[in-house]
Amino acid sequence: MVREWDPWTASSDEIRSLLDTLNAAYATDLPEDPLWQETSLREYLAEVMPGQRRICWIAEEPAEDGASARILGHVNVLLLGDIGVLEVLVHPEVRRRGLGRKLLSIAARRSYQEGFQSLGVEVVGDTPAVGFYEACGFSREYMETRSVLRLSTVDWTALDKLGTGIAPGYRVEYYPGGPPDELIEAYARAKAESRDLDDGGDLDLRPSSYEPERLRDSLDCLHRRGMKPYIVLALHEQSGEVAALTEVVVPAQHPTRADQYDTIVGQRHRGLGIERVIKARMLVELRSAEPHLAEVQTWNAQANDGMVKVNAELGFLPDRDWCEYGADVGALVHHLDQ
C-alpha cells in the first residue's frame, strides 16, 4: 500500500521503520558508508527553507497480528525554484518488483500537477539506481566524483602547519555554526561571484544561497534539520572582502562522516594557495570540535583540477561517481504510464 506521508505527524515506529529500510539500502549499495541514526531524522525529512515544499509517500507492508506496518519504500520530491528534486528508496528485499517505478510515477504525476516542468535526482555510480533511472527515461546531465578523507590517516602536525600559512594581507577565521551576522553580506557576495563564474552545467540539486537573507534562511534550516555547519574563511584585510570560504556540515543523522559543501576563492584572490590553507584549518578545527568524527566526504567535478589537486594533497581519496540525472516531467509521466 502506498500513501502520502507527513514526517511531522508520523509515528515513532514509522520513523524507525523508514530508518531500517534506509540502512538496509546503504548496507547493500554503499557498504563503506556509515549507517544513519534516528537522531533528528524526522526534522531532516520535514524541514525545508521558506518557499520550498517537500511531498512524501511511503509504501507499507501490511501489518499482521497487531504489529506495526513495515515501510519498504519511500519517495519524496522537494519542490524548489523551477525544478523538483527526487529521492526514491526501496528496501533491497523487494527490489525489481515494480515498487520503485510505482513510487516514481506517483511523485512525477504530482510534480506535473503542481506545474513543474523538470525533475532531477542524484544517482550514485555503480549502484542499481543508475539502470533504474535510465530505464525510466532520465538522462545524465552532470557528473562529479565523491572523495573521502579518513581522519585516522592525517598527518596532523603537517596539517596544522599548513593551516597557518596564509598569504600576507589575509587572515583566517573560524566560525562554528555559521558566519556572524556582520559578515553575512560579504559572505553572500563571495558565493554570488562564484555562481556567476560557474559554468559547470550542474542542475543545482543542492543549491547554494547567494543573497544575505536567503543565506540566513539556509543556515537556520540546516540547524533545524540537525546539521551543524562549520565555516572557515579568509578575509582580505585591506578591503574587508571574504576572499575565500569553505563549509563543512556535520549531520546528527550520521555524525561520524561530515559533508564538505562549498569551497570558494574569489577571482582576484586566486593563485595564493588560500584554498589549501582554509581547508587544512577546517580539518584541524573539526578534530577538536567533533571528536567522534572519522571521515569527511566532498564532491568535485573532474574539470576542477585545482580543487582536485588540493583535496589529494590533504589526503582525500576518490570513492565513487556522483551523477545528476534530469527528465522532462510531461515526458516522464507519459513514459511511466506505458
For the segment 167-221, what is each residue's pLDDT rounded down to a tens digit? Answer: 999 999 999 999 999 999 999 999 988 776 665 556 566 656 778 999 999 999 9
Q: Span 38-52, mean pLDDT?
A: 96
CATH architecture designation of domain 155-314: 3-Layer(aba) Sandwich (3.40)
Percent of the chain predicted with pLDDT > 70: 96
Q: Span 152-176, mean pLDDT?
A: 93
pLDDT, tens digit, 9 for 90 and up, residues 249-270: 999 999 999 999 999 999 999 9
Domain boundaries defined on the chain: 2-144+324-337, 155-314
Residue 315: Cβ-neighbour burial (10 angstroms; 0-12, 13-18, 19+):
middle
Identify the band that residue 131 occupies on the pLDDT scale cut at 50, 70 and 90: very high
- pLDDT score at 202: 62
Nearest by Cα to 307 from 230, 235, 246 = 246
Please give the angle made by the CA atoms of 24, 48 and 178, to the nearest 5 degrees. 100
SS (H, E, C) 266-300: CHHHCCCCHHHHHHHHHHHHHHHHCCCCCEEEEEE
Percent of the chain predicted with pLDDT > 90: 86
Identify the band that residue 36 occupies on the pLDDT scale cut at 50, 70 and 90: very high
Q: Are 248 and 282 in contact (CB under 8 A)?
A: yes
Q: Which CATH superfamily includes the segment(s) 2-144+324-337?
A: Gcn5-related N-acetyltransferase (GNAT) (3.40.630.30)
More confident call, 209 vs 116 = 116
Say whether 155-314 and 2-144+324-337 share the same fold: yes
Any idea which of 46-50, 62-66, 276-280, 299-303 has the lowest mean pLDDT? 62-66
Q: Are 236 and 186 in contact (CB under 8 A)?
A: no
Has residue 117 got a pLDDT over 90?
yes
- pLDDT score at 82: 83
Identify the band that residue 237 occupies on the pLDDT scale cut at 50, 70 and 90: very high
